[in-house]
Structure 1
Amino acid sequence: MKKVLSPICQAFWHPLVEGLENIPTDGPAIIAGNHLSVLDAAFLAIASNRRITFLAKSEYFTTPGLKGMAGKMFVAATGQIAVDRGNRRKATAALQAGAGVLGRGGLLGIFPEGTRSPDGRLYRGKHGVARLALETGVPVIPVGLVGTFQVLPMDRRLPRPGRVQVRFGTPLNFPRMTGERTGLAQRAATEQIMRSIQELSGQRQADIYAERFKASLGLVSR
């Protein structure tokens, strides 16, 4: 998949990658980035020298028709893990699967906002990334994607040419807290991660969850 996508991305979007040295050459880490476009995971996968396994919404695995088939082929080829955002039990199981990736020394990619930004702003992060970091003790590498919203926002079917930047930040380390699943520790860690992402992406912040904002506009969360 990387061999196929890399020359296409180079030709149309000339991605500029910064901070690649912040990704460890081996061992586990969480890659946490902003989510502006359906292309975000592809750009992160291409930028990294190591394979990244992403937590992906379950709709990619179940959508019917040609669009669903293409999405399913992509997420299967890139080893993504389905997350049912409307089912707490299944979402917890997906986080446990993500912890398994980290336990095997892999890189796990997460978009803390939970869904794509509808307007280019950075929305509040959910606690899943902080929960994994606190339970496993692995570092979180913040990443800011720039330009993917202009290339392929939610209201477009086909991408535009443009320039994309992928900025990996300094790893964030959190003390391991076995059993710490709620409260101030998760919130504080989430806020620190989102601040780092904002500094890298330069986005304006919105003090609301993206899903809630989309619902207020009558948009289907995607």
Structure 2
Amino acid sequence: MLYRLTKIVSAPFLHLLWPTTVTGAEHVPASGPAILASNHLSVLDSTFLPLVLPRQVRFVAKAEYFTGNPVTAAWMRATGQISIDRQSPTAAQDMLDAAARVLRGGELFGIYPEGTRSPDGRLYRGKVGVAWLALETGAPVVPVGMIGTDKVLPIGASVPKLGRIGIRIGKPLTFTGSAASARDRRRVTDEIMTAVQELSGQEYAGGYAPSRSAG
């Protein structure tokens, strides 16, 4: 109820300031589990993608978002995001386990395979956690290309600028293979990132994105 109320109140305001064009929303399953695998340009990605879909999307967010700025903390809780301590030695597996529970519960889970925001607008190599999730749970992967969010709120900025945003959603992908196989995880991840790149139109950087404490 709180999630729906938050969307009803905030969506018209956000769309007025940042007109958003969405293509392919029909590719998101109307029910059942699915993984939304997106490029990551801005912290705003986790705000605008859920706003354009009728179903709730769950993301993992670092614990600091729940304990710092009270407005951010309230938004994270209202939108049902999952708090993870990224300083924990088991943070990566904790994230995957939490995501698997969301999917097994029949919900939508959003993930950024690059692992962090792009520092320069290019698309970086995906980490294999997204493939583990797909192969372990059997959930389809829906590729997503976010466009323009980095112009509205670049890394390091605290106040968003006015601008237009695009969200392109591709057809669901299903995969076969073993979650325990490193080769299968790499293959599936690369296929997902190719689909994301086709939607986002980004230049492919080739390597992993440099780690950022801001995530």
**TM-score above 0.5, yes or no:** yes
Match of 2:19 in 1: 14
Match of 2:3 in 1: none
2:59 alignment partner AA: F
The aligned runs of 1:94-173 (5 Å cut-off) are 94-173=95-174
Post-superposition offset of 1:94: 2.3
Name the CA distance, whole Å, in 2 between partners of 1:181 and 1:221: 30
Identity, in percent, stands at 49
Name the CA distance, whole Å, in 1 between partners of 2:143 and 2:136: 18
Match of 1:198 in 2: 197
Q: RMSD over aligned Cα, in angstroms? A: 1.5
TM-score, normalising length from structure 2? 0.92
Corresponding position: 1:189 with 2:183: no
1:145 alignment partner AA: M
Give 5+ residue unaligned stretches, structure 2. 1-5
Post-superposition offset of 1:95: 1.4
1:157 alignment partner AA: S
Does the aligned pair in 1 maintain the 2:177–2:184 contact within 8 Å? Answer: no
Query: Number of residues paired by the alignment?
Result: 210
**Deviations 1:7-42 (Å, cap 9, x if unpaired)?**
122111110110011011111100010111111011
Name the CA distance, whole Å, in 1 between partners of 2:105 and 2:119: 35
**Deviations 1:158-210 (Å, cap 9, x if unpaired)?**
11111101111011101263xx3341100111111111111100011112222
SS at match of 1:144: strand
**Deviations 1:104-141 (Å, cap 9, x if unpaired)?**
11100111111111111111111111100010111000
Match of 1:207 in 2: 206
Please list every run of at least 4 consecutive aligned residues from structure 1 whose deviation after the TM superposition is greater than 4 angstroms.
Answer: none
Does the aligned pair in 2 maintain the 1:146–1:164 contact within 8 Å? Answer: yes
Post-superposition offset of 1:221: 4.1
